[in-house]
Amino acid sequence: MVFSRADVLNLVIEVCREEKLRVCLSESLKGGLIAGTTAAVGGLLGGARGLALGGAVGGLVAAYMADDDYKSAVQIIMDDLTPEQRDKLLHSVTRELINLGVIALPSLLNEVTLPADLKHKVAQEIVSFFSSQLKMKIQY
């Protein structure tokens, strides 16, 4: 079965929105380093209570700093991917749809909710593409 590029793109966007897929734009180790450092400094200065307080403060600071370091997968797909990368993603999802035996994509897109198993498989394919092809991490 051949699916139109527009239908597959609509499916990908719908799944990304429903699953709230976000791409991490920074290293996750950075947040851990901040939290760990403040906990260690707190522990040195204030003992056990300082350790707890330092860890809590460091965790909050790391969370605040990392809050803006995520971008929606839809935004990345529509604005940041090159046409070639977008085509590779759509080809990868199309291949997965064929493997799942999907034959009528337009009717799926008109349903109120997508079947959970299909949504999960498409989401997995998107995550796999982002990690293997683009070296980006996606958060559900």
The domains of the chain are located at 5-139
Q: How far is CA 25 from CA 44, 50, 92, in A?
A: 32, 31, 23
pLDDT of residue 16: 92
Crossing angle of helices 116-133 and 5-19, in 10° steps, is 100
**Res 28 pLDDT > 60:** no
pLDDT by residue (tens digit) across 49-103? 888 888 888 888 877 776 657 789 999 999 989 999 999 999 999 999 888 888 7
- What integer best gives the mean pLDDT of the chain? 83
- Residue tagged 């600071």 (tokens): 61
pLDDT of residue 125: 93
Q: What is the pTM of this model?
A: 0.66
pLDDT of residue 29: 57
Structure tokens at 119: 């949504």
